[in-house]
Amino acid sequence: MNIAFLLISVVLFFVLFFGIGFILNMILRMTWVMTIIYPLIVIFIVDKVSFIDYFVDSKVAFTDLGERLSSLASADIIILLSGLVGAICSGFTIRVLRKRGYQMF
């Protein structure tokens, strides 16, 4: 993977999940909602099994998920972790803003 592509992807994932987390925190008034939802989003990004297969054929679905997660390249892991950092930063930002008296919605 090209280093420029990696840097742009890291910034985009950080900003994307920071923004989504910030908006969800404002609307739902739950500070850590995006941090809790983020692992599910990662599973949907990485996995190729349909959502229903997790209930119908759990063993195969979770085995495939484990194989796909363990076979991720280091660049993919860095990109996905930058999204998690963005979601966590949005929670801290909302927390600080609420502590200082800002009311959103």
Query: What single string gives the DSSP state of each residue in 25-38?
Result: HHHH--TTHHHHHH
Rg for the chain, CA atoms, rounded: 16
In one-letter notation, the amino acid at residue 63 is T
- Give the pLDDT score at 90: 92
- Give the pLDDT score at 49: 87
Output the pTM of the full model. Answer: 0.85
Q: pLDDT tens digits for 22-81?
A: 998 888 888 788 889 999 999 988 988 888 988 998 999 999 999 999 999 999 999 999
State how far the alpha carbon of 39 is from the alpha carbons of 20, 21, 34, 83, 105, in Å.
14, 13, 9, 10, 27
